[in-house]
Chains A and B, each alone.
Chain A
Amino acid sequence: MLAHALRPSFSVFRPGPRRSAVVLRLPMKPEVLEMNALLGRVASERDRTAFAALFSHFAPRVKAYLLRQGAPASVAEDLAQEALLSLWRKAHLFDPAKASVGTWLFTIARNLRIDAIRREKRPELDPEDFMPDSAPAADEGLVQADDESRLRQALKDLPADQIQVVELSFFADKAHSQIATELGIPLGTVKSRLRLAMSRLKRALGDAE
């Protein structure tokens, strides 16, 4: 399962010239604001009603994510509960300027899965401990919680065949060659669909190609 990630030819990334940092500030979606507010209440008041509301919204989505990854139903159920417990424990560390609750929970669930199912560690960045001379990008840290709602809209606008390859690459833990076999399309088509989808999603975030 692991080696697949190593086998396909990985592409090379060359950053383009940096554009002037014009960051569009779109208003956050009410849902994102509501989730942030609920988590704020969990952090400051240990508010169980707010926690229950977050649980009802997110736990079934986290479970769905784990099932997509191939976790057995009982494991997905347990890990979804663990992920939400983690949210309770770590609520005071949440920073709405850095990520949305949904993105934060995605990273928690992803790491729980690697830990519990693959029995591996995931080497993580320490957000307060970068190499001293790594100059921050002009807009580092400006990934807004709002990115997620813009991405969700952009996902809805993608053609179905592109959504499919994005989901499979992200969630199914499958090599591109496996995806090609499963969908019965050439490997090149998987790669070009993914590339098209990613460039559309980046445009949604206001990134130049």
Chain B
Amino acid sequence: MIHHHPGEDLLLAYAAGAADEALSLIVSTHMSYCAICRLRGKKLDSLGGALLQELPPAPLGEGALDNVLARLDAVAPYERPIRVASRDGTPAPLRAYIGGDLSTVRWRKMGPRLSYAPLFKRGNVTAGLIKGVPGADSGVHSHHGSEFTVVLQGGFTDVTGNYGPGDLQMMEDGMSHNVVADPGEDCINLAVTTGPLKFESLLQRIAAPLFGF
């Protein structure tokens, strides 16, 4: 059961194609779990279709139709890519970035109870996976920029509530929290940050850049 959803503006940014790749990965990963947001997303796509239809047409160059007609025979009908059947609990949009499923992730130890696996970095925006054993805590930290998290396995709790698989958390610039992994199985999260994290503890402050935060 999903309790934490993206707001209308985040979903709109995804539907409009304005959200960047990392944020789109957050939204599409959440949607893989959440039927409610899939439906919300489809409606926003319909709004895109309606707006497109209402735009004043911009005429194409002369010969555009002939040009395309001449190319029709050369294009092969599209075939859906053959999927690697994986039902181990890895959302489809994420699999392409991991290059497999969650069991194939190569973790880097960040301490006795936390591990990290970077996915990609674009400018200031970083996407990666974080794993904590039950009871592990992140240390109190705040953010330069925002942090978006989707739980993939297990769960965590902080001052803002409890988060389980599929739940999406959004921490704004300047908000501070300490994330503690719930009892049970390891907690694995997809995390996107738009700026470096600010840790309160000196040791973490020194260590954070080494791990790509």
Answer whether A and B are interacting partners. yes
If the complex has contacts A2-B20, A8-B9, are A143 and B42 also in contact, measured as CB distance less than 8 A?
yes
If the complex has contacts A68-B55, A126-B83, are A143 and B77 also in contact, measured as CB distance less than 8 A?
no
| Interface of A: prevailing SS | helix
CB interface residues, A 184-209, toward B, < 8 Å:
195, 198, 201-202, 205, 207
Q: Say whether B77 contacts A92, CB under 8 Å.
A: yes
Q: Say whether A60 contacts B58, CB under 8 Å.
A: yes
Interface string of B50-68 (1 = CB under 8 A from A): 1111111111110011011
Q: How many residue pairs bridge A and B at CB < 8 Å?
A: 259
Cα A120 to Cα B194 with chains together (Å): 17
Cα A107 to Cα B51 with chains together (Å): 12
Q: Say whether A59 contacts B60, CB under 8 Å.
A: yes
Q: Say whether A105 contacts B36, CB under 8 Å.
A: no
Tell me the minimal C-beta distance from B170 to chain A in angstroms. 6
Cα A106 to Cα B48 with chains together (Å): 6
If the complex has contacts A13-B5, A114-B17, are A64 and B58 also in contact, measured as CB distance less than 8 A?
yes
Closest Cβ neighbor of B28 among chain A residues = A123
Cα A139 to Cα B39 with chains together (Å): 8
A contact set with B: CB distance below 8 Å: 2-15, 48, 51-52, 55-56, 59-65, 67-68, 76-77, 80-81, 84-86, 88-90, 92-93, 98-100, 102-107, 109-111, 113-114, 118, 120-126, 128-132, 134-137, 139-140, 143, 147-149, 151-152, 155-156, 166-167, 169-171, 173-174, 176, 195, 198, 201-202, 205, 207
A-B contact list, 27 entries, CB within 8 Å: A2-B21, A6-B194, A7-B146, A8-B9, A10-B170, A11-B8, A60-B57, A60-B58, A64-B55, A64-B56, A85-B68, A99-B45, A100-B46, A110-B48, A113-B17, A123-B97, A124-B28, A129-B92, A134-B2, A134-B35, A137-B38, A143-B42, A148-B46, A148-B50, A148-B53, A152-B50, A152-B54
